Amino acid sequence: MNRTLRIMAAALLAGPFLSSCGDGDRPNDNAGGAAKPSASPTTGQPTTGQRSPGPEPASCPNGGELIEAVEISAVHADPVHIPEATISGRKIPAATIPGVDIPAQRIPAQCVDLKPAPGGCLGAVAIPGVSIPGVKIPAVTIPGVKAPGIEVPPVTRAEVSRHAVSRSPVTRHEVCQSKPSEEGQYVSSVYRASLYRSSLYRSSLYRSSLYRPRTCNDKGECIPAVSVPGVSVPEVSVRGVSVAGASLKAYRAGPGQVIEGDGSIAYNIKADVLFDFGKADIKSDAAKSLTDLAASIRKEVPSDAPIQVDGHTDSKGDPASNKTLSERRAQAIVDWLATKGGIDRSRLKATGYGETKPTAPNTRPDGSDDPDGRAKNRRVVISAAQS
Which residues constitute the domain of residue 294?
Answer: 253-385
Closest CA to 148 of 90, 97, 200: 90
The CATH number of the domain holding residue 320 is 3.30.1330.60
**Whether 206 contacts 161, CB under 8 Å:** no
Instruction: Specify whether 258 is located in the same domain as 226.
Output: no
Give a yes or no: residue 55 inside a domain.
Answer: no
Q: Residues in the chain with pLDDT < 70? A: 1-54, 180-184, 252-263, 386-387
| Residue 1: predicted pLDDT | 38
pLDDT score at 347: 93
Whether residue 246 lies inside any domain: the answer is: no
The answer to whether 266 and 119 are in contact (CB under 8 A) is yes
Residues 372 and 370: their CA atoms lie apart, in Å, by 6
Residue 283 lies in a domain: yes
Tell whether 84 and 194 lie within a shared domain.
Answer: yes
Q: Given this model, what pLDDT does residue 289 score? A: 85
Residue 242 has a pLDDT of: 95
3-state SS string over the chain? CCHHHHHHHHHHCCCCCCCCCCCCCCCCCCCCCCCCCCCCCCCCCCCCCCCCCCCCCCCCHHHCCEECCEEECCEEECCEEECCEEECCEEECCEEECCEEECCEEECCEECEECCCCCCEECCEEECCEEECCEEECCEEECCEEECCEEECCEEECCEEECCEEECCEEECCEECCCCCCCCCEECCEEECCEEECCEEECCEEECCEEECCEECCCCCEECCEEECCEEECCEEECCEEECCEEECCEECCHHHEEEECCEEEEEEEHHHHECCCCCCECHHHHHHHHHHHHHHHHHCCCCCCEEEEEECCCCCCHHHHHHHHHHHHHHHHHHHHHCCCCCHHHEEEEECCCCCCCCCCECCCCCECHHHHHHHCEEEEEEECC
How high is the pLDDT of residue 387? 63
Q: What is the distance between the alpha carbons of residues 109 and 54, in angstroms, rounded to a whole number?
A: 10
* Claim to verify: residue 259 and residue 111 sit in the same structural domain: no
Residue 50: its pLDDT value, please? Answer: 43
Residues in contact with 215: Cβ distance below 8 Å, sequence separation at least 6, in sequence order: 145, 150, 152, 222, 223
User: What's the pLDDT at 375?
Assistant: 85
Nearest partner of 205 among 102, 323, 342, judged by Cα:
102
Q: Establish if 173 belongs to a structural domain.
A: no
Tell whether 194 and 157 lie within a shared domain: yes
Contact 216, 100 (CB under 8 A): no
Q: Are residues 28 and 96 in the same domain?
A: yes
Total of domains in the chain: 2
Kindly state whether residues 258 and 312 are assigned to the same domain.
yes
Same domain, 272 and 381: yes
Same domain flag for 305 and 381:
yes
Q: Are residues 233 and 277 in the same domain?
A: no
- Listed residues 239, 271, 303: the one ending a domain: 239
